[in-house]
Amino acid sequence: MSSSPAWVSAWLDAWGISAGLPEWVSASISVAALFLLILVPSATLISYLDRKLSADFQARVGPNRAGPAGLFQPLADLLKLLQKETRREWSWKENLWLIIHTMALYSTLAVIPLGSLALMVDTEMSAFLPFWSALVLALGTMLLGLGQGSVPGWFGGIRVAAQTLAGCFPALIALLCAGMRTGSFRWSVLASSQGFMPWQWTCFSNPFQLIALMVFVMSGLVLLEISPLDGGHSMSDIHGGVASHLYGRRFSLFNFGRFYGFFFWSVITVVLFLGAWNLPYHLVERLKDWGAVRLLGILELLLILTKTFFVMLLVVWVARVSPRSRVDQITDFAWKVLSPFSLVALVGASIWAGWRAFQ
Amino acid sequence: MSWQHQESFRTDLTTWEIGPYHGALPAPMRLRLSLDGEIIAACSVETGFLHRGLEKAFELHSWRASISYADHLDPEVAIFGELALCLGVEEIGEIAVPPRAQRIRVILAELSRISAHLVYMVRMARAVGSETIVHYLLRDREKILDLFELLTGARFSFNFLRFGGVSSDVTDGFIERVLEVCEMIRIRMKEYNDLFTFNHAFLMRTSGVAPLLAKQVKQFGITGPNARASGVDFDVRKTHPYMGYDQLEFKIPVGLGEEGMVGDVHDRFVIRLRELSQSMEILKQLSELLPSGEFLNEKIDLEYEVPSGEAYVRVESSRGLLGCHVVSDGGPRPNRIQFRPPTLGNLMAIPSLVEGVRIEDLPVVLASLDLGIAEADR
C-alpha cells in the first residue's frame, strides 16, 4: 500500500522536495492534486456536456456566449457563484456538519480508482469506503434538515435518509457480485481480472453480472439522489429540501459535492463492471518496455474518464426525458425491485463462480 | 447552552403554510396545510393576492375601453373575456354579428383553447419535473402565438373584438397557416404522448391521484374540462350554443378513467388532449365554412352608445363556463360588469380534493386543476 500514487511521487522528486517529506504531507498533496487536476476539470467538462446535450434534447441552444460555443460557461458560472455571499450565518452545529460532510465526501478521494498508477489506497476495504461515506452524508443531511426547523428541511432530510438506506442494500449486493467473480475487492485485482475488449468485462462475463451492473447503476441513482431518482432533494413541494437554505458559495459547493458523488459512482461502476482502465495488453507491454510509465498512466486515466463520462451522460439522457418519481415510489422501487434482482444476481453469480471452480 | 435542551420529535399533526409564492403553487395563493406525516389531513385556501379591482375598472372607463380590460380577466386566454363581454353588449344592444365575424371569433377562441391546453400540459410537466416536454410544448405554442400576432397584431391581450364583430379581417393565407400549425401539432402530439402522457413514471404520478367525484362537481359548481373528466357531460358550446357552434360538428370528450379512476389527475390531463384534437376539428371545418362579407357590423361606429339594459351571457372558456353579467344605464360607461369565472369552483374543490393526498403530489394536483388565479381574483 502506498500513500501517494506513483505519478505524484515522481512529480515531487522532479521538484526535489520529496526527500524527508512526512507521509501525510505527500498524501495531502496527492489528494489536492487529484481534486484540482482531475475532479474540477471533469466537473466543468461534464457540466458543459450535460448542458449542451440537454439543450439538444430539449430543442434549445444551450450556453453559447462565453467562449467558443459556450465552452467557458462553467468557468463563468463558477466565478460568479464563488463571488456570491451567503446571507445567513450558520450555527456551530451546521458548521460542524459541514466539516463532517466535507471529510466524509472527500475522504473517498483516497480510494478513487483512476488507473493502475493513480491508486493511493488499494486494500480489500477500498470498495466499501464510498458506501460508508454515502451513509454518513445521508445521516448528516437528515440531521441538518431536521435542524433547519422548516418543513422543506424536515421532509428533505428524511427523504434523503430514506432513499439512501433503500439504495444501499441492492448496491452492496451488486458490489458483492463483482467481487465474487474476482475473489477480491482490491481495485487493482478487480481491474486486472478484466480486459480491454468488452467480452473481457465483468458485466459480460455472465448474465447475472449484467443484472448486477443494472442494479448497481440504478441503486447508485437512488443512493446518491441522482436525477431522475432525485426525489429527496428536488421534489417541487419542498423545492430543494435541505438545499433550499443554501445560497451562493455554499450552494455551489453543495452542488459540486453532488456532482462528485455522481462522478465517483460512475468511476466505480466502470471499474467494477465495465473493464476499468484496461488498455489493450500489447500496448501496455510496449509502453512498459519503453519505460513510458507516465504516458501509460495518462492513457489509462483518459480511458477511464471517457467511460465514466459515457455512463454519466447515459444517465443524464434518461433523466432528461423522464418525469421525476415520488420518493415513496423510489424507495419502493429500490426495496421491491432492485433488491430482489440484486439477490438473484448474487445467487446466480455465486452458482456460476462455483461451477467454474469445479471445472 | 443549546445542546442541553431536550430535543423533541413530534409525530402528531404538523401545520405548514405555503404561499403566496412557492414553487409548488401554480399561481399566487396561500395554502394552510395540516399534515399527518406526509399525508395532507386538512387544507384551507386563501386567495386574492392577484386582485386588481378589475370589475371596478370597467365602471371607470368607456365602453370601448372595456374590451381591453376584459383582456386582463385572464391574460393567458384573453379572448374569452373579450368574447363574453362582447356577447353581453350585443345582447343588450341587439347588435347582429356578421357571419364572417362570428367565424373569425371562433377561430380565435379555438386557437386560444389549444394554446391554453398546451400551457396546461406545460404546468403539469413542470409539476412532475419533466423539463424536456416543457420546451417541446412551448415551442409549439409559439406557433399559435405567431398566428395571434398575424391576425390581431398582439401575442397576448389582443383587444381585437368589437361590439358587432372584430376589428380587422383575416389576411390572405391565414387559414392555411392555421391548418398547417394544427397538422404540425397533431403529428407531434403522437410523439409527446409516447414521451410523456403514457410514460410509466408519469402514470405513476397521476393515475388514481385525487379523483374528483361527479358529486363534488355539482357541489362546487365545477365546469369545463375538470367536470367533463369526472364524467359530467356539460359544455356551453353544446348546451347553449353561441357564435354558430351549433353548425359545427365536434364531440365532447368525457373522462373514462382508462388509467386509473374516473376524474383522477390523469383523466383531467387526457381530457384536455382530446379537447385539443376536437378544437383542431373545429378549425378544419371553419376553414371550409368561412363565409365572405363584412367582419364588423356597419351600424356600430365610434359614437355608438350602448342602450340601457342588462344581459347575462356565458361562453365555454378553456377552463369552463365563463359567465358575464353586463348592466348598462345608457351612459358612456358600463354600470356594472361582473364575471363568473370557472376557476372559482376549482378553488373551492381544493380542500376536499387534496385531503389524504401525499404532500409530494400537491403540486401535481394543483397543476391538474388548471387554476387561472387572475380570473378568480380579478
Is B135 in Cβ contact with A322 (below 8 Å)?
no
Q: CA-CA distance, B185 to A114, in Å (whole number)?
A: 48
List of chain A residues with pLDDT < 50: 1-2
Residue A298 CA, chain-centre distance (Å), reads 20
User: Which residue's C-alpha cell is 456538519?
Assistant: A97
Measured between CA atoms, how close is A175 to chain B, in angstroms? 27
Closest CA to B253 of B237, B236, B229, B269: B229
Q: CA-CA distance, A154 to B340, in Å (whole number)?
A: 41
Question: What length is written for chain A?
Answer: 359
Q: Closest-CA residue in chain B for A155? A: B38
pLDDT at B338: 92
Inter-residue contact B122 to B134 (CB < 8 Å) = yes
Inter-residue contact A93 to A147 (CB < 8 Å) = yes
Inter-residue contact A176 to A346 (CB < 8 Å) = yes
Is A324 in Cβ contact with B130 (below 8 Å)?
yes
Percent helix / strand / coil, chain A, rounded to 5: 75, 0, 25
Is B196 in Cβ contact with A151 (below 8 Å)?
no
Classify the C-alpha dihedral A315-A317-A322-A324 as positive or negative: positive
Q: Closest-CA residue in chain A for B367? A: A236
Helical H runs in A183-230? 187-192, 207-224
Inter-residue contact B255 to B263 (CB < 8 Å) = yes
CA distances from B219 to A87, A296, B45, B377 (A): 48, 75, 17, 21
DSSP state of B14: E
Which residues, 6+ apart, have CB-to-CB distance to A211 below 8 Å?
Answer: A341, A342, A344, A345, A348
A207 preceded by a cis bond (ω within 30 of 0): no
Q: What is the pTM of this model?
A: 0.86
CA distances from A304 to A300, A308, B184 (A): 6, 6, 44
pLDDT at A16: 67
Q: 3-state class of A59 per DSSP?
A: coil
Q: CA-CA distance, B281 to B251, in Å (whole number)?
A: 9
Q: Closest-CA residue in chain A for B132? A: A58
User: Which residue's C-alpha cell is 391565414?
Assistant: B174
Measured between CA atoms, how close is B266 to chain A, in angstroms? 14
Question: What length is written for chain B?
Answer: 378
In chain A, residues with a C-beta closer than 8 Å to the C-beta of B8 are none
Residue B69 has φ and ψ, to the nearest 5°, of: -75, -35
Q: How many Cβ atoms from other residues are within 10 Å of residue A254's Cβ?
A: 18
Is A327 in Cβ contact with B129 (below 8 Å)?
no
Amino acid at A221: L
Is B129 in Cβ contact with A320 (below 8 Å)?
no
* Candidates B23, B35, B129; nearest CB to A324: B129
Q: Closest-CA residue in chain A for B14? A: A151
DSSP state of B196: I
Where does residue A289 rank: exposed (0-12), middle (13-18), buried (19+ CB within 10 A)?
A: exposed
* Candidates A57, A236, A326; nearest CB to B358: A326
Is B359 in Cβ contact with A326 (below 8 Å)?
no
User: Which residue's C-alpha cell is 384551507?
Assistant: B44
Inter-residue contact A300 to A117 (CB < 8 Å) = yes
Asked if B362 has any chain A CB less than 8 Å from its own CB, the reply is yes
Closest CA to A108 of A80, A86, A127: A127
Q: 3-state class of B225 per DSSP?
A: helix
pLDDT at A86: 66
Q: Strand pairing partners for B16?
A: B33
Asked if B14 has any chain A CB less than 8 Å from its own CB, the reply is yes
- Those residues of chain A whose CB sits closer than 8 Å to some CB in chain B are 54, 57-60, 151, 155, 228, 231, 234-237, 239, 320-329
List of chain B residues with pLDDT < 70: 1-11
Q: CA-CA distance, B204 to A323, in Å (whole number)?
A: 10
Measured between CA atoms, how close is B129 to chain A, in angstroms? 5
Grid coordinates representing B61?
372607463
Q: Closest-CA residue in chain B for A60? A: B135
Q: 3-state class of B16 per DSSP?
A: strand
Burial B131-152 (b: 16+ CB within 10 A, else e): bbbbbbbbebbebbeebbeebb
Asked if B193 has any chain A CB less than 8 Å from its own CB, the reply is no
Inter-residue contact B73 to B58 (CB < 8 Å) = no
pLDDT at A4: 60
Is A328 in Cβ contact with B129 (below 8 Å)?
no
In chain B, residues with a C-beta closer than 8 Å to the C-beta of A234 are 129
Inter-residue contact A223 to A167 (CB < 8 Å) = yes
Q: 3-state class of B183 per DSSP?
A: helix
Q: CA-CA distance, A160 to A164, in Å (whole number)?
A: 6
* Candidates A155, A231, A321; nearest CB to B132: A321
CA distances from A29 to A24, A109, A178, A187 (A): 9, 12, 32, 21
* Candidates A60, A320, A323; nearest CB to B128: A323
CA distances from B201 to B261, B266, B319 (A): 17, 12, 26
Q: CA-CA distance, B309 to B350, in Å (whole number)?
A: 37
Helical H runs in A21-72? 23-33, 40-57
In chain B, residues with a C-beta closer than 8 Å to the C-beta of A151 are 14, 16, 35
pLDDT at B7: 56
pLDDT at A77: 84
CA distances from A195 to A199, A274, A280, B74, B181 (A): 8, 9, 7, 64, 54
Inter-residue contact B314 to B321 (CB < 8 Å) = yes
Is A58 in Cβ contact with B132 (below 8 Å)?
yes
Task: Pick the residue of A50, A158, A326 with the most B CBs within 10 A to test the interface with B by mutation.
Answer: A326
* Candidates A58, A323, A329; nearest CB to B199: A323
Q: CA-CA distance, A319 to A224, in Å (whole number)?
A: 14
CA distances from A27 to A1, A40, B45, B208, B362 (A): 12, 19, 59, 56, 50
pLDDT at A85: 72
In chain A, residues with a C-beta closer than 8 Å to the C-beta of B359 are 155, 237
Is B361 in Cβ contact with A323 (below 8 Å)?
no
Q: CA-CA distance, A129 to B118, in Å (whole number)?
A: 48
In chain B, residues with a C-beta closer than 8 Å to the C-beta of A60 are 135
